[in-house]
Every structure is written in C-alpha cells, then in structure tokens.
C-alpha cells in the first residue's frame, strides 16, 4: 500500500538518523527555494507570467516540502523528553530543536563544556594541518543559528 500524497511522517520515537536526514532535506529545500526566489526577484511563492511559470511552480513545491519537513521535525521534537524544553526557549523552533537533539549525544557529552567543545566553540581547540577536524561542523553552524535566532527575538 502506498501512502497518500504528502502524508509521510517521521516517527516520534527518538531516532537521530531520521532526524538528521530530515534536517538535510529541509536545508536543501530551503536553499533551492532561496535560489528560485532570487531568480523570481521576490521571496514568496507567487503566480507569475509565462517564462517564469516553471520557476514559480518549483518555488511553490519547495515551500510545500519545507513545511511538511518542518511539521515532521516538530513531531520528532514533541516525542523527545528534552524537546519540550527546547521549544520553550524563545526563538528556538522545531528545526533548530531537532538539529540539537540529532547532534548531541548526552552520553558522550554529559556537561555543557563537552557540548561546547564538540561544537567547536572552545577557543583552545586547534585544528592541525592534515588531521581530522576536532569538532562537528554541522553542530557549530546549528549553535550559531540558535544564537542568532535568540538575538533576533
């Protein structure tokens, strides 16, 4: 049996792999919509005239995909014990909350200092040439976005 169009959902049980995949899809969809909006010369999905009808349709479809992924990430966050606390922080939404839940393993990083270092925000960490990066780049970007979200509000 195939699912109905647009009816896919993410399990509410804490599954970090599924959340990571959804976060990647959300980011790609958002970048694509942003590029299409630049081609359309505006940010919102709108109806346009002839040669740009395909671009407008693609922008609309990307917006729909983004909202569906955002809804699935919100369900994932609601099903996690720490998720309700993250969502209560003013300026932090379902996407950033799901990203933090997917990236941080409390067993490996039991304190805030461990998380800080894992995110690459510890100034004493040095990245030596020809070695593996000593932090998680995705978590570092996510922490920066969380900080910016809190500052905007």
At 55-114, the pLDDT tens digits run: 777 778 888 888 888 898 899 999 888 898 999 999 899 999 999 998 888 888 889 888
> For residue 95, how many other CB atoms are within 10 A of its CB?
22
Going by C-beta distance under 8 Å and a sequence separation of 6 or more, which residues neighbour residue 153?
Answer: 90, 91
70/108 same-domain check: no
Domain assignment present for residue 91? The answer is no
116/73 same-domain check: no
Distance between CA 101 and CA 20 in Å, rounded? 9
Domain assignment present for residue 115? The answer is yes
8 Å CB contact between 23 and 73: yes
Assessment of whether the complete model's pTM goes beyond 0.85: no
Q: What is the pLDDT of residue 152?
A: 76
Q: Which domain holds residue 142?
A: 104-153
79/18 same-domain check: yes
Q: What is the pLDDT of residue 97?
A: 92
Q: Which two tokens stand for residue 27?
A: 């980011």
127/75 same-domain check: no
Using the predicted structure, report yes or no on whether residue 54 has a pLDDT greater than 80.
no
63/120 same-domain check: no
């Amino acid at each position: 049996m195939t699912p109905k169009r647009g009816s896919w959902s993410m399990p509410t049980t804490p599954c970090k792999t599924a959340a990571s995949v959804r976060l990647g899809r959300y980011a790609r969809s958002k970048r694509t919509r942003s590029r299409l909006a630049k081609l359309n010369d505006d940010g919102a999905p709108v109806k346009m005239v002839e040669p740009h009808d395909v671009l407008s349709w693609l922008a609309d479809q990307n917006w729909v995909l983004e909202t569906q992924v955002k809804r699935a990430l919100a369900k994932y966050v609601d099903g996690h014990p720490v998720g309700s606390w993250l969502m209560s922080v003013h300026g932090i939404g379902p996407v950033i909350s799901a990203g933090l839940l997917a990236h941080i393993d409390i067993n490996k990083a039991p304190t805030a200092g461990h998380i800080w270092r894992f995110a690459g925000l510890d100034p004493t960490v040095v990245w030596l040439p020809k070695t593996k990066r000593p932090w998680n780049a995705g978590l570092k970007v996510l922490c920066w976005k969380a900080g910016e979200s809190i500052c905007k509000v």
